[in-house]
């Protein structure tokens, strides 16, 4: 029997307890041993709850109990999760987590401690919720050099953008509905400003490229400025706007960015709707691959955490090698990254297009009947620096969204 | 250094050599040891080829060389691949393969030999080409009880159906083009009759359900009877026809079948085009997930085989547990499986519909301007047995395709 402890009895933590209870027979079979939850750590009381008798309020009870071999950290946030995780690993207990903030910030250090002690620090649930992506990157795509990862990594923003596209609502209205349905938090900043997606792409890129990608180096733009009119233009030309988190290898350089991007139906991410997430990967021999599923939610996320518990149980005294060194990966300056650009501009196409093409060269002009006193155009591919320079020479630009097709 | 041998220098075998050569630095890093190809077994000579000096014609050279720790079997077919694989495993050499015929037929026996010797028999490339699916089933989805796997598992047939949909061509014409492009073999029977997809769903189901699903028990129907007119009807109602390989848990029973199915755009498999494959999985806690990528082709398939070589290298003396016992899973009789049915019938809707609804109950009638002297309808959900019984009571039925929406 292997005894475990769960730190934090919130959404994911209670999901972990539920999943282990629901599927205990098949989980124990796959783990090769019986998994038993000995403690649940939370500051709150849960009278009448099935875990009531396992509840402890002091981490010392857990860290000092040699029977506890695996710790599930589902507290979220950097503190005190960082201290608890580090102490657990130093004490020879494996840790499984859904905590992307902590993994993005202290991943390399915690992985090194686990490696030195022949135990494991696993975080499948930190990116893409229930979608298996960390383990495939680590142990399935090992024959490839990965040159691109692009993901829809945040369910809240994908729900909001899908909602805006399906019923024409504005950002505020769609956000409100997402909050009412429990898909967005009361303080939605981490989601809608792209910070959550930024941490996730930092983790995935670090594993894919083998060096540490610091999330603070990643250019990040959220979806708060996307309007119903932007969506109308996108739909008029058969495209959709998605919050994409991308990292790419270009020659010997790497870049990473999070921003809204217009994509067309040839892109496998095009039809990912609502709270679903998907991660597109290009490998130099594999070609294109995509992983799709529930990017959040209690049970899907818990499914990924418990799969990590099973893996820890199967590797109690053996480190599962991760390709993530503490050596920092220097990212290219975003100004050198190329994209096409969708640009809305005030005025009439008849009056302004010639002047715009004098600056930008040939563009693809778009006008839609329901939107007056402005039009839009899509540029050819150019660097961010070139775009910025040219945009300063044009008056009346209302907004810009990157376009990838 | 770990020395390996490749059996069969055909498409996949030469791909394996190419991938190991192209990405040797990153592969060696991930394997933790240098991987070196010592022998390539083929009856043919390849003068001037880089493997010329490694070429041997006799398996005895390989089996008797204690330096060879891992054998890549890319010969295809059951014989002599079965004998070679069994002898290799009995001699303590791990085996990696892309050979779905052999895995579907002798998987449990070969896995048991590998387990008894603390080595491995891995076959990631046998299903879905380069798509990581075997390893995720084994080691990522371990918290779930999987209740459905539905895949587009054959690139040739998906190419043919996509081609028929995009340019209105008939089956024979689309097959001919697939053959010209190298996507279909000269003898296309294994693909177009569904035998290839049948073996793959047998393997995936065995791993997901933990017992042996015998491919010979699986109801299998190919795409040879799909016509341009069927595709026209499908498009008229916003659906597409795909060759789906499905296995599902229904209560305490299981069924598996391979057949063309009409699906709509809510199905994540709807937009899988051309030679791409995708595998949809539903887990009782995970919910929906989908894995998408190149289902065939030299390098994508080789990518999966080499990932297995890396895993074998990391687990030289340690068996990677697979959830596939030799205990046979009894499948439900197909007559008890429910679907909706799309049915084409001769005559006019005005003349025939009342009689049809008297037999089938309420149906969804479909007529399209370009098709005369017939119409079509889609039934409510019913068992195969019920459909068969009712269909015998209606005259003039031209064809039937299952519908899932």
Which of B35, B123, B286, B297 best tests the A interface by mutation, with the highest count of A CBs <10 A?
A: B286
- CATH 1.20.190.20 is the classification of domain A335-404: no
Mutate to test the interface with A, among B115, B140, B209 (most CBs of A within 10 A): B140
The reply to whether B260 touches chain A by the CB within 8 Å rule is: no
Q: Is the pLDDT of residue B390 over 90?
A: yes
What per-residue confidence (pLDDT) applies to B154? 97
State pLDDT tens for residues B209-260. Answer: 999 999 999 999 999 999 999 999 999 999 999 999 999 999 999 999 999 9
The whole-number average pLDDT for the span B344-372 is 96
Q: Give chain B positions within 8 Å (CB) of A130.
A: 283, 285-287, 289
Class of domain A135-294 as given by CATH = alpha beta
The Cβ-side half-sphere exposure at B195, using a 13 Å CA radius, reads 8
Chain centroid to Cα A109, Å, comes to 21
Tokens of A276: 């679903």
Across the interface, whether the CB atoms of A130 and B293 are under 8 A apart is answered: no
Residue in A54, A105, A163, A200 annotated catalytic:
A200
Residue B136 to residue B132: CA distance in whole angstroms: 7
B142 touches chain A (CB under 8 A): yes
Residue B131 touches partner A, C-beta closer than 8 Å: yes
Q: What is the mean pLDDT of chain B?
A: 96
Q: Which of B22, B29, B290 has its CB closest to that of A292?
A: B290
- State the Cα–Cα distance between residues B138 and A272, nearest whole angstrom: 26
What is the domain partition of chain A in residue ranges? 2-129+298-314, 135-294, 335-404
How far A280 CA sits from the closest chain B CA (Å)?
9
Q: Which residue of A has its CA nearest to B125?
A: A140
Per CATH, the architecture of B337-404 is what? 2-Layer Sandwich (3.30)
Average confidence (pLDDT) over B369-391:
97
Confidence of residue A123 (pLDDT cuts 50, 70, 90): very high
pLDDT, tens only, B287-326 = 999 999 998 889 999 999 999 999 999 999 999 988 899 9
Nearest to A145 among B26, B31, B145 (CB): B26
- Contacts of residue A276 in chain B, CB cutoff 8 Å? 288
Chain B residue at shortest CA distance from A26: B145
Higher model confidence: residue B322 or residue B192? B192
Closest approach of B197 to chain A, Cα-based (Å): 19
Q: How far apart are CA B155 and CA B153, in angstroms?
A: 7
3-state secondary structure A85-136: HHHHHHCCCEEEECCHHHHHHHHHHHHHHHHHCCCCEECHHHCCCCCCCHHH
- Does A22 sit within 8 Å of B284, measured CB to CB? yes
Q: With contacts defined as CB-CB under 8 Å, which chain B residues touch A289?
A: 130-132, 291-294
User: Does the distance separating the beta carbons of A307 and B294 come in below 8 Å?
Assistant: no
Of B54, B19, B83, nearest to B307 (Cα)?
B19
Which alpha helices (DSSP H) does B64-188 contain, by range? 81-90, 100-116, 134-135, 155-167, 171-180
A330 touches chain B (CB under 8 A): no
Find the mean pLDDT for residues B150-179. Answer: 96
Q: Are A322 and A111 in contact (CB under 8 A)?
A: yes
The verdict on A323 touching B (C-beta cutoff 8 Å) is: yes
Using alpha carbons, select from B330, B326, B332 the residue that is nearest to residue B212: B326
Strands A253-264, A219-220: parallel, antiparallel or unpaired by DSSP? parallel
Q: Does B306 touch chain A (CB under 8 A)?
A: yes
Residue B296: predicted pLDDT? 85
Query: pLDDT band at residue A321, thresholds of 50, 70 and 90?
Result: confident
Q: What is the pLDDT of residue B293?
A: 97
Tokens of B214: 């015998």
pLDDT at A374 over 90: yes
Interface contact B46, partner A, CB < 8 A: no
Q: Is A287 on the interface with B (CB under 8 A)?
A: yes
Predicted pLDDT of residue A272: 95
**Binding-site residues of A for L-homoserine:** 185
Residues B140 and B217: beta-carbon distance below 8 Å:
no
Residues across chain A: 405
Ordered alpha helix ranges (H), B8-154: 11-22, 24-31, 59-63, 81-90, 100-116, 134-135
Cβ of B307 and A145 within 8 Å? no
Q: Which residues of B touch A302 (CB under 8 A)?
A: 143, 285
Pick the residue of A98, A142, A240, A309 with the most B CBs within 10 A to test the interface with B by mutation.
A142
> Nearest chain A Cα to B130, which residue?
A286
Distance CA A335, CA A391 (A): 14
Chain B 219-258, residues with CB within 8 Å of chain A CB atoms: none
User: Sorting pLDDT into bands at 50, 70 and 90, what band is A53?
Assistant: very high
- A143:B284 CB<8 A: no
Nearest by CB: A289 against B27, B293, B314: B293
Q: Do A142 and B310 touch (CB under 8 A)?
A: yes
What are B102's two structure tokens? 């052999």
CA distance A22 to A141: 31
Q: Check if B191 contacts A (Cβ < 8 Å).
A: no
Asked if B56 and B45 touch (Cβ cutoff 8 Å), the reply is no
A144 has a chain B CB within 8 A of its CB: yes
Tokens of residue B139, six digits = 């080691």
Which has the closest alpha carbon to A213: A289, A108, A110, A96?
A: A108
Residues of B in contact with A306 (CB under 8 A): 142-143, 285
Residues B102-112 have pLDDT tens digits of 999 999 999 99
> What's chain A's average pLDDT?
96
Q: Does residue A310 sit at the B interface (CB-CB below 8 Å)? A: yes
DSSP code for A273: -
Q: Which of A12, A138, A143 to mutate to test the interface with B (most CBs of B within 10 A)?
A: A143
A296 band by pLDDT with thresholds 50, 70 and 90: confident
Helix (H, G, I), strand (E, B) or coil at A162: helix
B135-294 against B337-404: fold identical: no
> Which residues in chain B touch residue A287, judged by CB atoms under 8 angstroms apart?
130, 293-294, 297, 299-300
Contacts of A316 in chain B (CB under 8 A): none
- CATH superfamily, domain B2-129+298-314, is NAD(P)-binding Rossmann-like Domain (3.40.50.720)
pLDDT band at A302 (very low <50, low <70, confident <90, very high): very high
pLDDT number for residue A399: 97
Question: For residue range A192-231, what is the model confidence (pLDDT) as tens digits?
Answer: 999 999 999 999 999 999 999 999 999 999 999 999 999 9
Percent of chain A past pLDDT 70, that is, above it, reads 100
Q: How many contacts does A have with B, using Cβ atoms within 8 A?
A: 187
Q: Tell me which residues of chain B, numbers 261 to 280, contact chain A at a CB-CB cutoff of 8 Å.
A: 265, 268, 270-271, 276
Active site residues of B: 200
* Rounded distance between C-alpha atoms, residue A150 and residue A141, angstroms: 16
Q: What are phi and psi of B96, to 5 degrees?
A: -120, 140
A130, closest residue in chain B (CA to CA) = B286
Q: Closest chain A residue to B123 measured between Cα atoms?
A: A140
- The answer for A 146-185 residues in CB contact with B (under 8 A) is none
- Residue A355 at interface with chain B, using a CB cutoff of 8 Å: no
In chain B, what is the greatest distance between 2 CA atoms, to the nearest angstrom?
Answer: 77
| B119-146 pLDDT tens trace | 999 999 999 999 999 999 999 999 999 9
Write down how long chain B is.
405
Q: What is the DSSP string of A208-228?
A: HHSSB--GGGSEE--STT--H
Tokens at residue B336, please?
A: 């008890």
Model pLDDT for residues A132-181, shown as the tens digit of each residue? 999 999 999 999 999 999 999 999 999 999 999 999 999 999 999 999 99
Which residues on B lie below 8 Å from A310 (Cβ)?
142-143
Q: Is A384 on the interface with B (CB under 8 A)?
A: no
Instruction: Give the C-alpha distances (Å, rounded to integers) separating A35 from A4, A312, B377.
Output: 7, 11, 52
Site from A14, A137, A140, A316 to mutate, B interface, most B CB atoms within 10 angstroms: A140
Query: Nearest CB to B314: which of A294, A307, A321?
Result: A321
A-chain CB neighbours of B277 within 8 Å are none
């Amino acid at each position: 029997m292997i005894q475990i402890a769960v730190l934090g009895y919130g959404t994911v933590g209670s999901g972990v307890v539920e999943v282990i209870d629901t599927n205990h027979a098949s989980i124990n079979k796959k783990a090769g041993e019986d998994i038993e939850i000995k403690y649940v750590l939370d500051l709150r009381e849960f009278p009448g709850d099935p875990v009531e008798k396992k509840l402890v309020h002091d981490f010392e009870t857990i860290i000092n109990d040699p029977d506890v071999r695996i710790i599930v950290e589902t507290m979220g946030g950097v503190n005190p999760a960082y201290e608890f995780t580090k102490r657990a690993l130093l004490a020879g207990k494996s840790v499984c987590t859904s905590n992307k903030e902590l993994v993005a910030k202290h991943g390399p250090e915690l992985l090194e401690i686990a490696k030195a002690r022949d135990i494991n620090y696993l975080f499948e649930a930190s990116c893409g919720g229930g979608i298996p992506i960390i383990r495939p990157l680590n142990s399935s795509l090992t024959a490839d050099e990965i040159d691109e990862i692009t993901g829809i990594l945040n369910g809240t923003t994908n729900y909001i953008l899908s909602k805006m596209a399906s019923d024409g609502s504005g950002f505020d209205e769609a956000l409100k509905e997402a909050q009412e349905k429990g898909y967005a938090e009361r303080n939605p900043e981490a989601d809608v400003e792209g910070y959550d997606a930024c941490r996730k792409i930092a983790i995935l890129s670090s594993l894919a490229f083998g060096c540490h990608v610091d999330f603070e180096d990643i250019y990040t733009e959220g979806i708060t400025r996307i309007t119903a009119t932007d969506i109308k233009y996108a739909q008029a030309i058969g495209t959709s706007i998605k919050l994409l988190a991308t990292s790419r290898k270009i020659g010997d350089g790497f870049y990473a960015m999070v921003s809204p991007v217009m994509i067309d139906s040839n892109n496998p991410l095009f039809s990912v709707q609502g709270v679903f997430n998907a991660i597109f990967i290009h490998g130099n021999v594999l070609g294109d691959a995509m992983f799709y599923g529930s990017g959040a939610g209690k049970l899907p996320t818990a499914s990924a955490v418990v799969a990590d518990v099973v893996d820890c149980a199967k590797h109690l005294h053996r480190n599962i090698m991760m390709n993530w060194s503490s050596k920092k990966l220097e990212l290219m300056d975003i100004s050198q990254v190329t994209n096409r650009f969708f640009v809305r501009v005030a005025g009439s196409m008849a009056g302004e297009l010639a002047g715009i093409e004098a600056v930008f060269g040939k563009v693809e002009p778009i006008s839609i009947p329901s939107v007056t006193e402005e039009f839009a155009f899509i540029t050819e591919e150019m660097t961010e620096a070139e775009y910025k320079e040219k945009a300063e020479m044009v008056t009346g630009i209302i907004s810009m969204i990157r376009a990838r097709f």
